Amino acid sequence: MKRAILKTVDAIQSGDGIVEIGEAQLETAAGLVTVKYVVFWQQEGGSWKWHVDIWNASS
């Protein structure tokens, strides 16, 4: 992995957290790969923490 460029497509409040839906461009030694991702953010001690995520190759 050489570089990752993340772009938030949508952010939705869910209970005590936020669901972020996004797209990413991953630059690797083999070339550029586009993926989509979902991250669930939770607030801990006054800061937002990356709680859980999943990503897939875009089709």
Per-residue pLDDT of 34-48, as tens digits, reads 999 999 999 999 899
47: Cα within 13 Å, side-chain hemisphere: 4
Q: Which CATH number fits domain 3-57: 3.40.640.10, 3.40.50.300, 3.30.390.30, 3.10.450.50?
A: 3.10.450.50
pTM of the full structure = 0.84
Task: Extract the runs of DSSP E, i.e. beta strands, from the chain.
Answer: 3-14, 17-28, 31-44, 47-57
Q: Nearest 10 degrees: CA dihedral of 36, 33, 5, 23?
A: -20
Alpha-carbon span 51 to 46, nearest angstrom: 14
CB of 57 closer than 8 Å to CB of 44? no
Structure confidence by residue, pLDDT tens digits, 7-59: 999 999 988 899 999 999 999 999 999 999 999 999 999 899 999 999 998 76
Query: What percent of the chain stands above pLDDT 70?
Result: 98
